[in-house]
Amino acid sequence: MAQAAVNKERSFPHPEFTDSEAGALTFPSSTSRSYNYYKPAKARATTYEDVTFDVQPDPERHLSQGWIYGFANTPGGYPQDWTRLKSSDWHQFRDPNEEWEKTIYRNNAAVVRQISLSLENAKRAKAYSHWNPAWVRFIERNLGAWMHAENGLGMHVFTAAQRSAPTNMINNAMAVNAAHKLRFAQDLALFNLDLAESEIDFDGQVHRDVWQNDPAWQGVRENAERLTAIGDWGEALFATNIVFESLVGVLFRSDLLMQISARNGDYITPTIVGAGENDYSRDLGYTRALFSMLTRDEKHGDENKAVLGEWLSTWVPQSLRAAHELQPIWSQPNEKVVTFADSLDAAKATFRSVLADLDLEAPKELDQ
Residue 319 binds another protein (CB under 8 A): no
Q: Looking at beta carbons only, is 168 or 241 nearer to another protein?
A: 168
Q: Looking at beta carbons only, is 205 or 353 nearer to another protein?
A: 205
Binder among 39, 102, 296, 324 for another protein (CB under 8 A): 102
Residue 124 binds another protein (CB under 8 A): no
User: Which of these segments, 13-21, 240-248, 263-271, 300-308, binds another protein (CB under 8 A)?
Assistant: 13-21
Q: How many binding residues for another protein (CB under 8 A)?
A: 115
User: Which of these segments, 48-56, 135-143, 290-298, 347-355, binds another protein (CB under 8 A)?
Assistant: 48-56
Q: How far is the CB of 98 from another protein (least distance, A)?
A: 11
Residue 248 binds another protein (CB under 8 A): no
Contacting residues for 300 by C-beta, under 8 A, at least 6 apart: 85, 86, 87, 88, 294
Give residues 212-241 in contact with another protein (rule: CB under 8 A). Answer: 212, 221-222, 225-226, 228-231, 236
Which of 326, 366, 365, 328 lies closest to 348 in space, CA to CA?
Answer: 366
Q: How far is the CB of 240 from another protein (least distance, A)?
A: 13
Q: Looking at beta carbons only, is 191 or 330 nearer to another protein?
A: 191
User: Which of these segments, 186-194, 242-250, 264-272, 273-281, binds another protein (CB under 8 A)?
Assistant: 186-194
Binder among 104, 258, 338, 366 for another protein (CB under 8 A): 104
The burial of 268, by beta-carbon neighbours within 10 Å (0-12 exposed, 13-18 middle, 19 or more buried), is given as buried
C-alpha 280: how far from its chain's center?
6
Residue 44 binds another protein (CB under 8 A): no
Residue-wise DSSP of 175-235: HHHHHHHHHHHHHHHHHHHHHHHSSS---SSHHHHHHHH-HHHHHHHHHHHHHHT---HHH
Residue 72 binds another protein (CB under 8 A): yes
Which of 51, 157, 153 lies closest to 95 in space, CA to CA?
Answer: 51
Element (H, E) at 279: helix 268-295
Cβ density class 324-333: b for 16+ within 10 Å, e for less: ebbeebbeeb
